[in-house]
Amino acid sequence: MISTNSNIVLSSTSPKVETVSNVQPLISKQLFWKLFRLQAPQFIIKPENKEIIFSIFRYFLQLPNFNEYGVIKNKADLEKGLLVYGDYGVGKSTLFSAIHEVGRTIVSKTQNTQLWFPRISTVHMLSQYYESQKNLGSNFKLENYYQGKLYLDDLGKEDKAYNREELIGKLLFERHHRKFKTFVTTNENPSAIAARYGTHIGDRLPEMFNIIKWEGKSWRE
Ligand SMILES: Nc1ncnc2c1ncn2[C@@H]1O[C@H](COP(=O)(O)OP(=O)(O)O)[C@@H](O)[C@H]1O
Ligand SMILES: [Mg+2]
């Protein structure tokens, strides 16, 4: 009897109940696909790339079976971010840019933020950082990127800041600490990422990210 009562009290005050009221309806596959096609009509999906592309779509649609094709070799989890690495020119950046634009369209029309994430390349982030050091009028702050979702393109392509500081390593560390989802596309494999930014990042990659290796022929040829 006592335990039943305390259960009722617990469930009526648990934070879960509060979050439920904030949950937005999931974006449907149909809406996503329609907007994706409008956004990227030339983007070809063929047998060689379809399993990876559909797994990434399913991840953003928050479908629990998103790893049905088994393209994620570490533990697949919708609560983690995505790290897509592999061959140059296979379409990593193109795909994420198109999803970014779909997310932007959805948020502007419906306020639903499920697919919304800001996007920046690591090289551009470094140049904004340098600019902010020279120009007091700049409003760039690395800390502004510590929160919320973020898509980082071309991880590892950037230089060290002033040849000494790994700004992007710091960013990844701070974001992991705060448990925000990061999406990364890169030509560097996880060992190269670990070698560059250090084991404090390298060891955490599997818990931060669903890791996908994307190999194939370059569209640039
Ligand atoms: N699925 C695709 N269908 C047609 N063209 C593509 C596709 N994926 C990529 N491309 C084209 O190939 C080029 C390289 O793609 P990109 O996304 O930059 O590759 P990555 O980021 O993997 O190096 C781009 O010009 C892009 O438009
Ligand atoms: Mg790219």
Give the distance (Å) from ligand 1 centre to CA of residue 153. Answer: 13
Domain positions in the chain are 26-214
Closest atom of ligand 1 relative to the 87 alpha carbon: 22
* Pairwise CA distance, residues 182 & 105, whole Å: 20
**What pLDDT is attached to residue 221?**
77
Closest atom of ligand 1 relative to the 46 alpha carbon: 1
Which architecture characterizes domain 26-214 according to CATH? 3-Layer(aba) Sandwich (3.40)
Q: What is this structure's pTM?
A: 0.90
Using the predicted structure, report yes or no on whether residue 144 has a pLDDT greater than 90.
Answer: yes
Scan for tokens 């890169």, then name that residue.
186
Give the distance (Å) from ligand 2 centre to CA of residue 96. Answer: 9
Task: Return the amino acid letter for 2.
Answer: I
Structure confidence by residue, pLDDT tens digits, 157-203: 999 999 999 999 999 999 999 999 999 999 999 999 999 999 999 99
Structure confidence by residue, pLDDT tens digits, 58-94: 999 999 999 999 999 999 999 999 999 999 999 999 9
Q: Residues whose CB is under 5 A from ligand 2 (ion)?
A: 92-93
CA atoms within 13 A on the CB side of 39: 19
DSSP code at position 151: E
Q: Which of 37, 93, 94, 184 is the best mutation target for the ligand 1 pocket, counting ligand atoms within 8 Å of the beta carbon and taking the most?
A: 94
